[in-house]
Amino acid sequence: MRKPIIVGNWKMNKTCAETVAFIEAIEPVLHDGATFGVGAPFTALKDATATAKNLVIAAENCHYKDNGAYTGEVSVPMLQELGVTHVIIGHSERRQMFNENDEELNLKVKRLIEAEMTPIFCIGETEAQYDAGETENVIRTQLAAGLKDLCPKCVAKMVIAYEPIWAIGTGKSATKEIAQNCCHIVRDQIRVMYGDEAADSVRVQYGGSVKPENIKEYMACEDIDGALIGGASLKVDSFTKIIEAVK
């Protein structure tokens, strides 16, 4: 019922030339079993959309205003002009290193929905919060604030990525039980906020040290509809293995 969605998050990696070479190599291995995409740096997006045929191209951030005195920022219409369809919002690196807060993330999500683009909204707890048993509360609080005042039909079309910060880039992936339990909490919070249709349609990804060796066990979980993948999305070889594993 929910089509899986696997997205690589390249972060601050890949030049335009590297982007084109990667997409040319990946396109032939894509299949209909899932939606596949990559989040590329702003500088590579134009080449990425020009090269991609079936690969979805995502930006890794956007501003919620359309234009103005916001040095260094990129707006939603600017991304739309390039053929970008998805935008990663609120990644923990943006929350932690660039002080993005739930209120501005909510404005970004709203602007993307207005533009009929797909937000990939990221949430997840720190290691200290995990150790203190605060995971569920963090998940529910981030969703309540970041996704407030949206329409249920819009929420149904979005993607939410649950990424425990302690599992990002650490090689220490969450067990499938933890990942499933947390993605279930995500879906339940959407049910509380927006009802059954939104909850049953929204796609929930797990992210954090996903690799060819563990993708299948996450994908077998009832509430996990895909993955947001950092390190293992950077090499054609490992991303290909992930794509083939979800056939």
Q: Catalytic residue positions?
A: 91, 163
Cβ(224)–Cβ(214) under 8 Å?
Answer: no
Coil, strand, or helix at residue 127?
helix
Q: Which is nearer to ligand 13P, 9 or 201 (CB)?
A: 9
DSSP for 46-62 reads HHHHHH-SSSEEEES--
| Measured distance CA(14)–CA(120) in Å, rounded | 21
* Residue 186 binds ligand 13P, judged by CB under 6 A: no
- CB 186, min distance to ligand 13P, A: 15
Binds ligand 13P by CB under 6 A, chosen from 186, 209, 218, 242 = 209
Distances (CA, A) of 241 to 81, 82, 201, 211, 247: 32, 29, 27, 9, 10
Closest-CA residue to 6 (of 62, 54, 47, 77) = 54
Distances (CA, A) of 132 to 87, 136, 138, 170: 31, 11, 11, 20
* Residue 168 binds ligand 13P, judged by CB under 6 A: yes
* Residue 108 binds ligand 13P, judged by CB under 6 A: no
Binds ligand 13P by CB under 6 A, chosen from 79, 208, 224, 225 = 208
Stretch that binds ligand 13P, among 68-76, 104-112, 131-139, 202-210 (CB under 6 A): 202-210
* Residue 207 binds ligand 13P, judged by CB under 6 A: yes
Binds ligand 13P by CB under 6 A, chosen from 14, 63, 86, 91 = 91
* Residue 106 binds ligand 13P, judged by CB under 6 A: no
Site for ligand 13P, rule CB under 6 A: 9, 91, 163, 168-169, 207-210, 228-232
